[in-house]
A and B are shown apart, each in its own frame.
Chain A
Amino acid sequence: DGGITQSPKYLFRKEGQNVTLSCEQNLNHDAMYWYRQDPGQGLRLIYYSQIVNDFQKGDIAEGYSVSREKKESFPLTVTSAQKNPTAFYLCASSTGISPLHFGNGTRLTVT
């Protein structure tokens, strides 16, 4: 079955450590996205990539970094510069104009 896989489902880190969240898709989609969701909030766009080896900052990119070396993969690194990293992170993909398809998310807790 085609879909988007995010791993791990839960992630715990100490403050000051960088952490990388994985996102893999087998839908052959060109575009991939990272969103952050906080309780009671809508989704906020962190980064997006519309083709391999290219990505753009979203609304809240500070403290995050991404890479897009392969079409299938779009990992997100939460750096120690991110002031409030504890959140639910969602990865999505699309053909660019088609509906967004989402993974099941990674819940990151930083203490």
Chain B
Amino acid sequence: KQEVTQIPAALSVPEGENLVLNCSFTDSAIYNLQWFRQDPGKGLTSLLLIQSSQREQTSGRLNASLDKSSGRSTLYIAASQPGDSATYLCAAAPSGGSYIPTFGRGTSLIVHP
């Protein structure tokens, strides 16, 4: 059964720092990997989705990479801002079958001014 782990569980940084959030998964037979943002008391907002055939995706200050062979994905946030404070979750969807993703527990990020 797929297991998804996110490290670190929490992170507090000063504004302006470049950040790397890590996501690892045990089964490399994935269809895609998705990164989400969750603000307190809210639902999840999709940030980036990487198909299994892709190596990375970029959106603004966010860049997500995927290395299936090592079972890892990273989310890079450039020049962090207080508005980036949120919980970031990754989810790996299996190839074949239901495509239902398995979620990690998330990294809680605080960016202080």
Measuring CB to CB, which residues of chain A are less than 8 angstroms from any residue of chain B? 4, 6, 33, 35, 40-43, 45, 48, 50, 56, 58, 88, 90, 92, 96-97, 99-105, 107
Number of interchain pairs (Cβ within 8 Å): 50
> Can you report 19 residue pairs joining A to B where beta carbons are below 8 Å apart?
A35-B103, A41-B105, A42-B4, A43-B103, A48-B100, A56-B98, A90-B44, A96-B99, A97-B32, A97-B99, A99-B49, A100-B34, A100-B91, A102-B36, A102-B43, A103-B43, A105-B41, A105-B42, A107-B41
Whether B104 lies near A100 (C-beta < 8 A) is no
User: Which one, B41, B46, B89, B98, contacts A42 given CB within 8 A?
Assistant: B89
How many angstroms between the C-alpha atoms of A101 and B101 in the bound complex?
12
Chain B residues packing against A (C-beta within 8 Å): 4, 31-32, 34, 36, 41-46, 49, 89, 91, 98-101, 103-106
Interfacial chain A residues near B104, Cβ < 8 Å: 42
The residues of A that contact B36 with a CB separation of less than 8 Å are 102
Query: Cβ of A56: which chain B residues have Cβ within 8 Å of it?
Result: 98
CB closest chain-A residue, reference B51: A97
**Do A90 and B34 form a contact, CB below 8 Å, given A42-B89, A42-B105, A48-B100?**
no
Chain A residues positioned under 8 Å from B44 (CB to CB): 43, 90, 92, 100, 102
Chain A residue, CB-CB nearest to B43: A102
| Contact call B98/A48, Cβ cutoff below 8 A | yes
Bound form: Cα–Cα A43–B104 in Å: 8
Q: Are B46 and A40 in contact (CB under 8 A)?
A: no
A92 CA to B89 CA, complexed, in Å: 15
Q: Which of B32, B43, B101 has the most CB of A within 10 A?
A: B43
